[in-house]
Each structure stands twice: as C-alpha cells, then as structure tokens.
Amino acid sequence: MQKIRVLIRKLEQNDIQEIAEAFHAIGWDKPVSQYERYYMEQVDKIRDVYIAFVKGEFAGYLTICWTSTYGAFREGNIPEIVDFNVLPGYRRQGIGTQLVEKAESEIANVSPIAGIGVGMDSDYGSAQRLYVLRGYVPDGRGLHYRGHYPMYGEKITVDASLAIYLTKKLK
C-alpha cells in the first residue's frame, strides 16, 4: 500500500474546536474541554499531542503521556501512547501507522520501550491488530480493569476500562 501524504504536527490551540467538531459530527463524546486539557498538559510537558491532516483536513491524533497513569509503565519509566483515534473516513489508509511511527520516534529519544493499552472489546479490533503487526507484545500482567488486574473467576463488565497493556522495544 502506498502511503497517503499526511501532515503530522503537534496540537496547536487553534486546532481544538476543529477536532471537537469532527468527533461531534460522528457522534463521539470528545468535548472541547478534553483538548483544552491536552493542550495545557502539552504546554506543561506532561503529554504531547500529535495530529494528522490529509489535504488540510483533520484526520486523527494520538497522545504520548510521558509519565503513564498505568502503574507498571510508570514504575518502569515507559512512556505510553494514549487516546489514539483516526476518524472513520480516514481509516485503512496508513494514517494511524504514520501517527504511531511519529510517536515511537519521539519516545525513542527518551526511552528504549514504548507502551500502549488497548481495549478488549470488538470496537478495538483494528487497533489490536495494528499494535501486534507493529511488534507490540503483552506486558505479561494480563487484563487490567479500573485500577486492578482481575482475578480468575472475578466478574467484571466488558467496557472501555477493560484493557491489556503492550510494550515494544524501540530500535
């Protein structure tokens, strides 16, 4: 597959409204306040936000949390790719791959390992495949749900909080 030409750059304050509107148009709850927070966290060097444009149109983004909220990554000083979204009309064109490549390149400047969490329901199927194909492997701790690792036989709800965390050795 030939790579589509994508401009990837850091979030700027004047991008916020366009991003929120793009997600609102497809019925996703990603309000302006979320991106305002992300922008301030970027200013404070807590998170970096990379956004993708195709022919001047917003297509997707991801963020890098330099100190993960996931305990195993935080303890291991593993930066985490978080909140990775490509708009449905831009999927399967290599945009997500290019965003992940950018994130891995930035993470490699400070860490030999990148981390990412992925949901376990079918809504995350494409992301699960992408991460495995890019060389991410489970961190070996099993499923994680709302701050803990569920034990065998424990009843939990399959929702966006149920995830498995993956790592990739860079370089």
What CATH number corresponds to the domain at position 79?
A: 3.40.630.30
Whole-angstrom Cα distance, residue 79 to residue 54? 27
What total number of domains does the chain contain? 1
Residue at 150 is within a domain: yes
Q: What is the pLDDT of residues 49-105, one digit of tens each?
A: 999 999 999 999 999 999 999 999 999 999 999 999 999 888 888 899 999 999 999
In 3D, which of 107, 124, 113, 135 has the Cα closest to residue 163? 124
By residue range, what is the domain housing residue 76? 7-169
Cβ(29)–Cβ(56) below 8 Å: no
pTM of the model: 0.91
Phi, psi (degrees; rounded to nearest 5) at 58: -60, 130
Residue at 1 is within a domain: no
